[in-house]
């Protein structure tokens, strides 16, 4: 949510930002917000004047009593008696106009960074850099589920019976591989100086609306029936929520956190759930990184965070590239975002395995996350989040890039201490 003072002083900049994000339908909302703000402030001024008048009149009564002026006392009391009714009317206007103003403000997107490329959707995202040489083996690379099934590592049919489409059982070496990748990711981030967390996997609606836009919430979150709780779509939600209504001394920043969680997503939208595959599913696991910092440090942290993901994937012999999200592909709360995409030898193209986002002070403003400076003044923090690794998407990239012709899987040196082997062999047929 933007600062109302910024909207008052820069309405044209807010409208121009909406145009850059191809949300022209929201442009009239800016004027509506300003009208509601004017109405709110006028009612507040009048209400404050009435309260001041009420105090003055109350003091007059005391003086009039001392002077024995009975008739004047009655007149002043009559004047005071009229004030509560008028005050109640003004307070109602104040409350209603503020609520309507906030409702509209919640759907106005954050101001994007000037460096963000302008484009309508993800087809206009811009490649930034490649790391590692994309490689296509001479043998045919099977579909990822076929690779896993040959290793007796996945059972989608049974999961479809128990839970429906978008679920799976991992087993044997593939289940171990996923757990080891997550353990390696945990230790990788701890070595970077991040504090490890396992957060709550359910959060209240006040946190949900603080960390994401309404459209994202509707398309992603599962609601717990009969309770004010939602299943998290990523541990970022819990981790940012951890700081709700807090004031952190400036010298304690940055807060650098890495968190593990299962993630639950409806995956409503054009892409849909795969009938047979694990790229887009309802439930998966993820290692996340979250930073809370001073505004002037957030862009430096942005570049550090996605570089950690690149480094992680390269340590596992997976070529990747970074792709900057254009204006139309940015979620409303984001200032800037870069996706990390892994190389798929089977598809001969890159696909998304993680996303790094700088949200400026949008989440902090919604959740009241403040910093106290050396001068004792308070200001809103900046928040960032980034995917370290999110199996099973990462499993797809790992298996395809470390596949041998006989169907076995190479284990890169970085992961061998966790797997306690250097290869996953194809089980012998019984």
CATH number for domain 4-105, candidates 2.40.50.140, 3.40.1190.20, 1.10.287.40, 1.10.357.10: 1.10.287.40
- Confidence (pLDDT) at 268: 58
Phi first, then psi, for residue 195 (nearest 5°) are -90, 130
Domain ranges of the chain: 4-105, 122-424
Question: Residue 59: pLDDT above 90?
Answer: no
- Answer with the residue of higher pLDDT: 191 or 70: 191
- Confidence (pLDDT) at 70: 66
- Confidence (pLDDT) at 58: 74
Question: Residue 64: pLDDT above 80?
Answer: no
- The position carrying tokens 């589920």 is 145
Whole-angstrom distance, CA of residue 354 vs CA of residue 129: 15
Q: What is the pLDDT of residues 369-405, one digit of tens each?
A: 999 999 999 999 999 999 999 988 899 999 999 999 9
Q: How far is CA 317 from CA 181, 333, 407, 412, in A?
A: 13, 34, 17, 7
Both tokens assigned to 216: 């994202």
Q: pLDDT tier at 280 (50, 70, 90 boundaries)?
A: confident
Whole-angstrom distance, CA of residue 167 vs CA of residue 369: 36
Q: What angle do CA 9, 10, 15 make, to 5 degrees?
A: 145
- The position carrying tokens 């007149």 is 75
Q: What is the pLDDT of residues 318-365, one digit of tens each?
A: 999 999 999 999 999 999 999 999 999 999 999 999 999 999 999 999
Mean pLDDT of all residues in 223-242: 94
The answer to whether 345 and 136 are in contact (CB under 8 A) is: yes
Question: Residue 273: pLDDT above 60?
Answer: no
Q: pLDDT tier at 411 (50, 70, 90 boundaries)?
A: very high
- Confidence (pLDDT) at 348: 96
Q: 283 forms bridges with which residues in the sheet?
A: 264
Closest-CA residue to 261 (of 185, 332, 331) = 185
- Confidence (pLDDT) at 264: 93
- Confidence (pLDDT) at 136: 94
Phi first, then psi, for residue 399 (nearest 5°) are -65, -45
User: Residues of the chain with pLDDT > 70: what percent?
Assistant: 95
Average pLDDT, the chain: 92
Question: Residue 68: pLDDT above 70?
Answer: no
Mean pLDDT of all residues in 172-195: 97
pTM of the model: 0.89
Neighbours of 271 (CB within 10 A): 9
- Confidence (pLDDT) at 350: 97
Closest-CA residue to 228 (of 242, 243, 250, 208) = 208
Architecture of domain 122-424: 2-Layer Sandwich (3.30)
Both tokens assigned to 182: 């997550």
Q: What is the pLDDT of residues 325-335, one digit of tens each?
A: 999 999 999 99
Q: Is the dihedral of CA 274, 278, 284, 286 positive or negative?
A: negative
- Confidence (pLDDT) at 71: 66
Q: pLDDT tier at 269 (50, 70, 90 boundaries)?
A: low
- Confidence (pLDDT) at 219: 77
Peptide bond before residue 32 is cis, with ω within 30 degrees of 0: no
Mean pLDDT of all residues in 268-281: 66
Q: pLDDT tier at 279 (50, 70, 90 boundaries)?
A: confident
The answer to whether 424 and 411 are in contact (CB under 8 A) is: yes
């Amino acid at each position: 949510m933007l600062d109302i003072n910024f909207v008052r002083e820069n309405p044209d900049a807010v409208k121009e930002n909406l145009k850059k994000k191809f949300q022209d339908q929201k442009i009239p909302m800016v004027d509506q917000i300003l009208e509601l703000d004017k109405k709110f402030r006028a009612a507040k001024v009048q209400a404050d004047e009435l309260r001041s008048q009420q105090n003055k009149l109350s003091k007059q009564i005391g003086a009039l009593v001392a002077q024995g002026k009975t008739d004047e006392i009655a007149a002043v009391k009559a004047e005071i008696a009229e004030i509560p009714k008028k005050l109640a009317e003004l307070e109602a206007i104040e409350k209603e106009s503020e609520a309507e103003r906030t409702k509209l403000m919640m759907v106005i997107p954050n101001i994007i960074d000037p460096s963000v490329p302008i484009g309508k959707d993800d087809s206009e995202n811009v490649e930034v850099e490649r790391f590692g040489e994309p490689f296509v083996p001479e043998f045919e690379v099977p579909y990822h589920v076929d690779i896993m099934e040959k290793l007796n590592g996945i059972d989608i049919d049974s999961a479809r019976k128990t839970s429906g489409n978008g679920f799976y059982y991992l087993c044997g070496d593939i289940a171990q591989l996923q757990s080891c990748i997550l353990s390696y990711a945990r230790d990788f981030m701890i070595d970077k100086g991040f504090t490890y967390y396992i957060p709550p996997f359910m959060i209240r609606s006040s946190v949900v609306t603080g960390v994401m836009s309404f459209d994202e919430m509707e398309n992603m979150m599962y609601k717990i029936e009969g309770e004010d709780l939602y299943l998290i779509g990523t541990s970022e939600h819990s981790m940012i929520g951890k700081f709700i209504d807090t004031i952190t001394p400036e010298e304690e920043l940055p807060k650098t956190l890495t968190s593990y969680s299962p993630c639950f997503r409806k995956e409503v939208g054009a892409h849909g759930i795969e009938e047979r595959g694990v790229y887009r599913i309802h439930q998966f696991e993820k290692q996340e990184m979250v930073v809370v910092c001073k505004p002037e440090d957030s862009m430096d942290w942005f570049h550090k965070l996605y570089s950690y993901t690149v480094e992680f994937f390269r340590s596992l012999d997976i070529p990747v590239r970074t792709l900057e999200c254009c204006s139309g592909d940015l979620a409303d709360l984001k200032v800037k975002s870069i996706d990390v995409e892994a190389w798929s030898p089977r598809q001969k193209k890159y696909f998304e395995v993680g996303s790094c986002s700088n949200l400026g002070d949008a989440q902090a403003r919604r959740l009241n996350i403040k910093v106290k400076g050396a001068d004792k003044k308070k200001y809103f923090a900046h928040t960032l989040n980034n995917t370290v690794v999110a199996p099973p998407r990462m499993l797809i990239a790992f298996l395809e890039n470390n596949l041998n012709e006989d169907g076995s899987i190479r284990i890169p040196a970085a992961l061998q201490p966790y797997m306690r082997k250097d290869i996953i062999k194809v089980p012998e047929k019984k």
